[in-house]
Structure 1
Amino acid sequence: MSTLPLARYRHTLETYIDAKDNTRAHRIAEAFAPDAVLTISLATSNIAFPARTVGTDAIAKTLVTDFGAQYTQCRTYYVCDSLAVDDGTVDALPWLVVMRERATGALRVGHGVYRWTFDATPAVTAFHIHIARMDVVPDAGGKLLEALQDGLSYPWLAPAELREHLTSLVRSTPALAFVEAFSRPAVASTGT
């Protein structure tokens, strides 16, 4: 178990979310060690990222600048009841993302798991993103995106709240039937 207060890890994870979702590239250096390594594995062809990125500048470019040029109104949620840090590692932390594609206005909903490794400060030294699923749905007016994001706790989202929210939306909005697949947190697969 880590000797640092859990609040310090939560702050680092929240800094990352603020950087990515709000297109604040400079905040990556607040959360990541200068020589941090980002790795990404994909189980979908609906999104593309480089498999490996090294250093805060390159990570900021990949996860904030380039990402922000393609997507807007992004909300990334940590889907868990509590954060568990074991020996400087957060392993298999489920996430959900709901965002809009700038070029087409399409809704994108994705989920997967994060694996974080921290140094003693705690700055991120290694970050693995596994993208298990990414659905792309026409949403020219943004109404589906608004319905999905409205009322969800951000950025920490309890699995029961996610399930309840999505189940209710599936019943009331037939165009959102596809989100049933996102009502349970993604799980780590072997090889991530």
Structure 2
Amino acid sequence: MNTSLSSSSVRSLLECYLRAKDLNQPEVISECFSSDAELTFSIATDDIDFPRRVLGAAAIAKTLVADFGERFDRCRTYYVCAEPLVDESQNCSMPWLVVMRQKETESLRIGKGMYRWRFGDESGNAEDRIVQLHIHIERMDAVPDPRAEKLNALQGSLLYPWLPPAELRARLASFIATSSDAEFAVPFKQPAVFD
């Protein structure tokens, strides 16, 4: 394993993950995850469901992109930090926010939680990859929005994909103050934290 992973390499891997997930491109997962990567979940809400553990890039692509894309579209996932910070063990934790549309109900889905990443070398590959991802889902709300007006306004008000916490609070406060029926966004002004 490389002893240090550059900030630009980490950003590139994390942005690759968002390109796969948010643009529904499952084939892109293999560009950023090792072939034997592990995905785990902890979910503090009954409003969404995922398997607790998924092994391998192909299975991760199916779970987080293909299967996810069947239920949701117009997804934007925000990293609620200015810059990813990787420790000496190649781990990185950060809050996230997601704003998307649930196809079946035509509702806005807004959620928050934490990512915990681990990076490393894939054997036979000189480049670092994501070797482990834990996704904690703290909250996932559904908001009636049949014409996607709230979705459009909310996504239009947020910086994508890097959204520093101060910007999150300021931009959501502005969205709530200037949009009708926007109280649903209040619980998302504060980023999620790991217990």
User: Please, what TM-score do these two structures have when normalized by structure 1?
Assistant: 0.95
Match of 2:131 in 1: 125
Within a 5 Å distance, the mapping from 1:114-153 to structure 2 comes to: 114-120=115-121, 121-153=127-159
Q: CA deviation at 1:2?
A: 5.3
Q: Is 1:37 matched up with 2:43?
A: no
What is the CA–CA distance in structure 2 between the aligned matches of 1:2 and 1:114, rounded to whole Å? 22
The code of the aligned residue for 1:37 comes to E
Match of 2:9 in 1: 8
What is the CA–CA distance in structure 1 between the aligned matches of 2:97 and 2:171, rounded to whole Å? 13
Match of 2:124 in 1: none
Q: Is 1:183 matched up with 2:189?
A: yes
Q: Is 1:25 matched up with 2:26?
A: yes
Q: Could you tell me whether the CA contact under 8 Å between 1:98 and 1:145 is conserved in 2?
A: yes
Q: 1:175 to 1:74 in 2, by over 3 A?
A: same
Of 153-162 and 10-19, more deviation after overlay is shown by 153-162
Q: Deviations over 1:47-93 (max 9, x none)?
A: 110000000110000000000010010000000122100121102x1
What is the CA–CA distance in structure 2 between the aligned matches of 1:108 and 1:102, rounded to whole Å? 10
Q: Is 1:157 matched up with 2:163?
A: yes
What is the CA–CA distance in structure 2 between the aligned matches of 1:3 and 1:53, rounded to whole Å? 27
User: Please, what TM-score do these two structures have when normalized by structure 2?
Assistant: 0.93
The code of the aligned residue for 1:16 comes to Y
Unaligned 5+ segments in structure 1 are none
Match of 2:103 in 1: 102
Q: Once the two structures are aligned, what percentage of the paired residues are identical?
A: 47
Q: Could you tell me whether the CA contact under 8 Å between 1:2 and 1:85 is conserved in 2?
A: no
Q: 1:74 to 1:86 in 2, by over 3 A?
A: same
Q: What is the root-mean-square deviation in Å for CA atoms of aligned residues?
A: 1.3
| Secondary structure of the corresponding residue to residue 31 of structure 2 | helix
Q: Could you tell me whether the CA contact under 8 Å between 2:143 and 2:184 is conserved in 1?
A: no
How many residues are matched? 188
Displaced runs of 4 or more, over 3 A = none
Q: Deviations over 1:115-136 (max 9, x none)?
A: 0001043201110000000010
Match of 1:62 in 2: 63
Q: CA deviation at 1:175?
A: 1.5
| Secondary structure of the corresponding residue to residue 86 of structure 1 | coil
Of 107-116 and 158-167, more deviation after overlay is shown by 158-167
What is the CA–CA distance in structure 2 between the aligned matches of 1:179 and 1:14, rounded to whole Å? 25
